[in-house]
Structure 1
């Protein structure tokens, strides 16, 4: 499999990198003016797009680190995550949620490792 890098518009970094079977991706909302629900929906959609771009999918996720600007949003995250990730526990990744100071009005950011 060829290496794939999808550069970020910010420069100096990539949105997703795939080398061999390994996939590394980061996702966040493209509109930081949205509320948490809107940013979360955009972030999950972006993660789907990044995985698809390199021939991976939700089912190939191994680990996801989720950074929240406010841990008060964790219950809302958990509900949306369960709906997004699906019912098949055989495909669930390891997941961690961390409180973090995010830049530019972002409320959520995800860093994922997967395979393709």
Structure 2
């Protein structure tokens, strides 16, 4: 089974890896000067793009880990997430939100596993 990898702009890692039906993706904002909502919006858009490049979509998400630099933003995250993921609970992935120190002014990063 052949791996397909989409390299990151940062050396030494891939932003998406696909193997067979499995897809592993990471997304974050490209503009760290934005506020939390702006970064979250960019991050979700980037995740959509990564999933599409790998031949899947939000509907293929199985597990999502969301890292946030300030857990006080979790209520904002929850509202934006529900709008992004949709109302069909049969298609919701497992999700965890973790407080983490992020590099380079980033306020949110998403790591996802999906199938295609």
1:58 equivalent in structure 2: 58
Taking structure 1 as the reference length, the TM-score comes to 0.98
List, as ranges, runs of 4+ consecutive aligned residues in structure 1 with deviation greater than 4 Å.
none
1:96 equivalent in structure 2: 96
Q: Which runs of 5+ in 2 are unaligned?
A: none
**Residues matched between the structures, number:** 116
* SS of residue paired to 1:18: strand
The separation in 2 between residues aligned to 1:38 and 1:91, in whole angstroms, is 25
**CA RMSD for the aligned pairs?**
0.9
Post-superposition CA distance 1:57-100 (Å, at most 9, x none) = 00000000000000000000000000000011111000000000
2:67 equivalent in structure 1: 67
2:109 equivalent in structure 1: 109
The separation in 2 between residues aligned to 1:2 and 1:50, in whole angstroms, is 18
Taking structure 2 as the reference length, the TM-score comes to 0.98
Distance change in 2, residues 1:75/1:81 (3 Å): same
2:33 equivalent in structure 1: 33
Task: Give the CA deviation at 1:3.
Answer: 2.8
